[in-house]
Amino acid sequence: METSANLQPSVGPGIRVHGRYRVIRVIGTGGMGAVYEAVDERLGLRVALKESHAQEPELKRQFEREARLLAGLKHPALPRVTDYFIENDQAFLVMEYFEGSSLAEVVTKQAPLPAQRVIAWADQVLDVLIYLHDHDRGIVHRDIKPHNLRVTANGVISLLDFGLAKVTQPAPASTDTEEQSVHGYTRWYSPIEQIENSGTNERSDIYALGATLYHLLTGVRPDDAEKRARILTATGADCLHRVDWVVPAVGEDLGSIIGRAMAVRSDDRYQTAEEFREALRRLGRVRSTLDVDDAPEAPRPKTYASARRRFVQLSTVVAILIFAIVIAAHFLPNPTVAENPSLPNAATKALSSSQNAPKQKLTTAAPKSKSVPVVALPQASAVAHHDRDDRSIAPVTIKPKPEKERETRALPSSVDRRPITTSTRTKAPAPAVKPKQQVAASGDNDSPQVLRAPDGTEVMKFKDGRIRVLGVRDHGGQRQ
């Protein structure tokens, strides 16, 4: 039996690779390889160890290209390559280790990010792009995205992963040409010419950076270029929402700059990284004098007046809510929550299909405590209460209600008021769309393929790719 342990001794923390690099932890993994944090025990340096699991010759060559390409670059925002080797048929690239977090992590936790901070990062990335796009080098990165940008606590940016990079101008010591680059892209950040593989250049990086800034400023990934191009061709309109429409605080000027960088046609974008940087710098100067409230995140001092204003606002909202509830209680005959659209489908079904509780009522409370009648809105009920090391339970209980109490309930205005419960389901209006589960059960959609495992587990596979697990049949044919 041959295992990864035999063939890939370097994989795994604590293991020494190439006689000098001790792996500390896995930074990231994927189908193509992994990146580890390691210590160069000979020099006492922390390094990033990038391993390729590629078996295909083309992908192996690509990895080697990346190593050679990076080795020839010298810029503070680019990792220095210190070693490249093959051990046990696995290729490794040893690079300078950059502290910090990827912008993908940052955007996940903090989005939308303040415009001034994003502009400062963009300025640094554009400095790298100017260096890469320089005529002597002619390198197009082609994979600029939040995942490949790291930022330190001091706001210093570094650009990683040259796996898709392309050299348009062969350097004197290099034989790389445009034809040797590998086709690949990341949907939300790549321009149409890259997705269609119809020839990329430095303006492709400008698009990708624009899309990255879009994501950072709004917290949502932009529509992919292919979809935009398709809609643009069909309707003449761009479906991409401007950044400043999504987050008005971004401002119209910055919205226009991002919009131009992300133009579908490369001729409509900034033609060079310098041009893009200059536009942002001009804006940065203007904003720094006009919009001082944007970047600073320090809390404003609380004054009595502001506290009082806030109290009045809150009181007004509460009063309006209570008034709405009172009105609702008057006019609604029998509202329930069985198909509250704010719950995910399956959760809704689960709530409405309890076998033990023919009619249910949602209440919020700890399981053992007295219930308070409310509706299980995700916003309100999503409570993970970490009072124990291995538990995250802050439940909303659904208790069976005695038959006589089941007539009318008042619900807040934010809840769907359609009178649908288990017992009154027949009176409810039929749903406009047939639930997927019913389609699956009836099989009238696309006659799914039923796969059966040796232990009796049955898996229904639909033509559109959906998968339903029917459960396990015992030897008597009963489903468990």
Partner 1 sequence: MTSRRVHIYLASIIFVLANGVHAQQQRVSSRDADREVLVWNQRPSEPLFVTSRSESQTGAGMGLWYRDRGFSVSLLQPLFFSNTGGYFVWWVALHNQPGLRMICFRPDTNKQFGASDIGANLQDLGDLKLIKTGSGSRFLFAVAGDGQLRLVSATNAAEKHLSIDYTAAGQVERIRDDFEREATPQYEGEQVRRLFQTWVEHGNRYLTAAALK
Q: How far is the CB of 437 from partner 1 (least distance, A)?
A: 9
Instruction: Taking the CA atoms of 227, 229, 234 and 236 in sequence, report the sign of the dihedral they define.
Output: positive
Q: How far is the CB of 213 from partner 1 (least distance, A)?
A: 17
DSSP class of residue 465 equals S
Nearer to partner 1, 256 or 342 (CB): 342
Q: Provide DSSP, 252-295.
A: HHHHHHHHHHT-SSGGGS-SSHHHHHHHHHHHHHHHHHH-TTSS
Nearer to partner 1, 177 or 345 (CB): 345
Q: How far is the CB of 361 from partner 1 (least distance, A)?
A: 10
Beta bridge partners of 472: 457
CA-to-CA distance for 396 and 119, rounded, in angstroms?
Answer: 44
Q: How far is the CB of 453 from partner 1 (least distance, A)?
A: 5
- Compute the CA torsion angle 27, 214, 299, 120 (nearest 10 deg): 80
User: What's the half-sphere exposure (Cβ side, CA atoms, 13 Å) at 180?
Assistant: 19
Nearer to partner 1, 200 or 363 (CB): 363
Residue 133: which of 185, 206, 186 has the closest Cα?
Answer: 206
Are the beta carbons of 181 and 167 closer than 8 angstroms? yes
Nearer to partner 1, 136 or 387 (CB): 387
CA-to-CA distance for 68 and 113, rounded, in angstroms?
Answer: 35
Nearer to partner 1, 120 or 460 (CB): 460
Nearer to partner 1, 130 or 325 (CB): 325
User: What's the half-sphere exposure (Cβ side, CA atoms, 13 Å) at 17?
Assistant: 34
Q: How far is the CB of 273 from partner 1 (least distance, A)?
A: 28
Nearer to partner 1, 226 or 253 (CB): 226
Name, in order, each residue with C-beta under 8 angstroms of 52's C-beta and a sequence gap of 6 or more: 32, 33, 59, 60, 63, 90, 91, 92, 93
Q: Which amino acid, residue 109? A: K
Q: How far is the CB of 343 from partner 1 (least distance, A)?
A: 7
**Does residue 143 have an active-site annotation?**
yes
Under DSSP, is residue 84 helix (H, G, I), strand (E, B) or coil? strand
Please pick, among 127, 143, 223, 224, the residue that the annotation labels catalytic.
Answer: 143
Are the beta carbons of 62 and 70 closer than 8 angstroms? no
Are the beta carbons of 442 and 460 closer than 8 angstroms? no
Q: How far is the CB of 379 from partner 1 (least distance, A)?
A: 7
Are the beta carbons of 207 and 240 closer than 8 angstroms? no
- Compute the CA torsion angle 449, 454, 455, 460 (nearest 10 deg): -10
Question: Which of the residues are catalytic?
Answer: 143
